Amino acid sequence: MARAPLDTAARYLPPDPGKLSLATLRRRAAGCEACPLFRTGTQTVFGDGPPTAQIVFVGEQPGDREDRAGQPFVGPAGQLFDRALAEAGIERDRAYVTNAVKHFKWVPQGKRRLHQKPNAREIAACRPWLEAELAVIRPKLVVALGATAAQTLMGSAFRVTRERGRILSAPFAPAFLATIHPSAILRGPPADRDEAFAALVADLKVAAKHLAH
Ligand code: URA
């Protein structure tokens, strides 16, 4: 039997979405039903930051707190991210922060909503939003936080462990850098946290230095 063509967010966008404003993208994304996650997420959590940002950070998907607040990286991982940014000398207010997938995917576990990794179909359905954000902002550097973001942008063969902390060339921006996801530090063994945090800051300092040039 023939497979139904993949539905994606492209149906909400013109051929050249780079001509739209971030406000228009955000408004259109609020009604996105390109994958089933709109049913379980409270709202679309679109990217946040100025259109003039020179640096765009891409995470995986909003978490529980982000889903309720409607803003990316405001929960525990976001607070760790903010500390790492401050240590690296990057002002969050001047950066644009977004996710590869813009709805929270979760399963109930008692009273909690347990994070679930988005699948390839959900990532592909959401991808036009990320491409549109990058087309509007045209940043100097895109930073992927973790494997989902890195592989969404660079392909499934990309390995953060191998490539992290280096300025790489990419088709969607003049430069790209991958680092770990702040949640990986929170989920990892407490004894490893200081070292993992320092390594995240070191990667972000490479990004800061690139921006300064
Ligand atoms: N993790 C992400 O990848 N993105 C968020 O916005 C929050 C947590």
Q: What's the CA gap between 211 and 20, in Å, rounded?
A: 25
Tens digit of pLDDT at every position of the chain (213 positions): 566 667 999 999 999 999 999 999 999 999 999 999 999 999 999 999 999 999 999 999 999 999 999 999 999 999 999 999 999 999 999 999 999 999 999 999 999 999 999 999 999 999 999 999 999 999 999 999 999 999 999 999 999 999 999 999 999 999 999 999 999 999 999 999 999 999 999 999 999 999 998
DSSP state of 48: B
Q: Is residue 10 part of a domain?
A: no
Q: Does residue 5 form part of some domain?
A: no
Please state, in angstroms and rounded to a whole number, the distance separating the CA atoms of residues 188 and 181: 11
- Domain extent, residue 57, equals 16-212
The partner residues of 177 in beta bridges, in order of sequence, read 143
173 C-alpha to ligand 1 centroid (Å): 21
Q: Does some domain include residue 156?
A: yes
- Ligand 1: residues with CB < 6 A are 59-63, 66, 72-73, 75, 77-78, 99, 183
Please identify, by atom number, the ligand 1 atom nearest to the C-alpha of residue 75: 7
Q: Tell me the residue type at 6.
A: L
What is the length of the chain?
Answer: 213
Q: Is residue 33 part of a domain?
A: yes
Query: How many angstroms separate the alpha carbon of residue 141 from the centre of ligand 1?
Result: 19
Pocket test for ligand 1, best of 44, 60, 71 (most atoms within 8 A of CB): 60
Could you give the 3-state DSSP secondary structure of residue 177? Answer: strand
Q: Which atom of ligand 1 is nearest to the CA of 73?
A: 6
For residue 3, the CA-to-ligand 1 centroid distance in Å is: 32
Residue 55 Cα to ligand 1 midpoint, Å, equals 17
57 occurs within a structural domain: yes
Whole-angstrom Cα distance, residue 206 to residue 31?
A: 37
pLDDT at 4: 60
Three-state DSSP state, 62? coil
Dihedral angle computed from the Cα positions of residues 182, 186, 188 and 192, in that order, rounded to the nearest 10 degrees: 90
Q: Which residues contact 86 (CB under 8 A, 6 or more apart)?
A: none
Identify whether 1 is part of a domain.
Answer: no
How far is the C-alpha of 167 from the C-alpha of 153, rounded, in Å?
14
Rg (CA), the chain: 17
In the reported structure, the alpha carbon of residue 64 is separated from the centroid of ligand 1 by a whole-number distance in angstroms of 9
Is 90 a member of any domain? yes
Q: Give the integer Cα–Cα distance in Å for 4 and 34.
A: 13
Within a domain: residue 203?
A: yes
What amino acid occupies position 38? F
What residues are paired with 186 via a beta bridge?
A: none
pLDDT tens-digit readout, 180-198: 999 999 999 999 999 999 9
Number of Cβ atoms within 10 Å of the Cβ of 171: 7
Any idea what the CATH number is for the domain that residue 50 is in? 3.40.470.10
Predicted confidence at residue 194, as pLDDT, reads 97
H runs (alpha helix) in 3-75: 22-30, 64-69
